[in-house]
Amino acid sequence: MVLRDSPYFHEKHRLFNHNAPVVTAVFLPDGRFLATGGDDLLALIWDMTAIRAGADPAPIARFAHQRKISHLSISADSAMLAIASWDGGFQIWSLDTMTPITKFRRHIGPVQATQFVENGAQIISAAQDGYISRWNLKEKHYVLSLVENG
C-alpha cells in the first residue's frame, strides 16, 4: 500500500505486511494510527507518528479474523476499532490496549459496514443479508434491526 501526500500525491511511504489486497483503511481522527484491512484476513495498525518521524513502516498490532475483512470504523473518541468481516459478524478492539473487547454475530453473510453512534455507546452494522442492526456496546448485546431489505 502506498501513502501519498496531498495535494500533489507524491509518494510518502510504502506499507507492506498484507499478503492480499487491502480493501479498507481508516485514520484515527488525530492521525496517530492508520488501520488497514484486507483479503488476507488481517487488520493491521500502523503508528503513523513513528512512520512520519522516519521509523521503518511496520504494523504495531495485527488482528486476525476467520474470513476476509470488509470494513473498518473508529469510535469518535479514537478508543475503539470495529472490524467487519465476511464471517457474518464484527469485532470491537481496544486501540489503547490492542486487545479484543467483544464480538457481535447475528448476520447471515458478510457484514459490509459498521458505524459507531451515540458517542460510541452503540454501533450500527449493515450486511448482505439485508439487515441494518443496532448494538449496545456497554451491555454487549443486539438491540434491534432497523431495516430488512433484499
- Please tell me the distance from the alpha carbon of residue 146 to that of residue 112, in angstroms, as a whole number: 15
In a domain, 20, yes or no: yes
pLDDT band at 11 (very low <50, low <70, confident <90, very high): confident
Length of the chain: 150
Which structural domain, as residue segments, surrounds residue 90? Answer: 14-148
- Please tell me the distance from the alpha carbon of residue 83 to that of residue 91, in angstroms, as a whole number: 5
| pLDDT of 61 over the 70 cut | yes
In a domain, 9, yes or no: no
In a domain, 132, yes or no: yes
| pLDDT of 12 over the 90 cut | no
| pLDDT of 43 over the 80 cut | yes
In a domain, 61, yes or no: yes
Are 92 and 86 a contacting pair, CB within 8 Å?
A: no
- DSSP letter at 8 equals T
Cell numbers representing residue 36 in the block: 488497514
Please identify which residue in the block is written with the cell numbers 456497554: 138
pLDDT band at 26 (very low <50, low <70, confident <90, very high): very high
| pLDDT score recorded for residue 150 | 57
| pLDDT score recorded for residue 126 | 94
Per the structure, how many domains does the chain have? 1
- Please tell me the distance from the alpha carbon of residue 45 to that of residue 31, in angstroms, as a whole number: 12
In a domain, 1, yes or no: no
| pLDDT score recorded for residue 148 | 65
In a domain, 28, yes or no: yes
Backbone torsions φ then ψ of 56, nearest 5 degrees: -60, 130
| pLDDT score recorded for residue 4 | 79
In a domain, 53, yes or no: yes
pLDDT band at 133 (very low <50, low <70, confident <90, very high): very high
Type of residue numbered 50 = A
In a domain, 40, yes or no: yes
pLDDT band at 122 (very low <50, low <70, confident <90, very high): very high
Are 60 and 106 a contacting pair, CB within 8 Å?
A: no
Other CB atoms within 10 Å distance of the CB of residue 110: 19
| pLDDT of 149 over the 70 cut | no
CATH number where 54 lies? 2.130.10.10
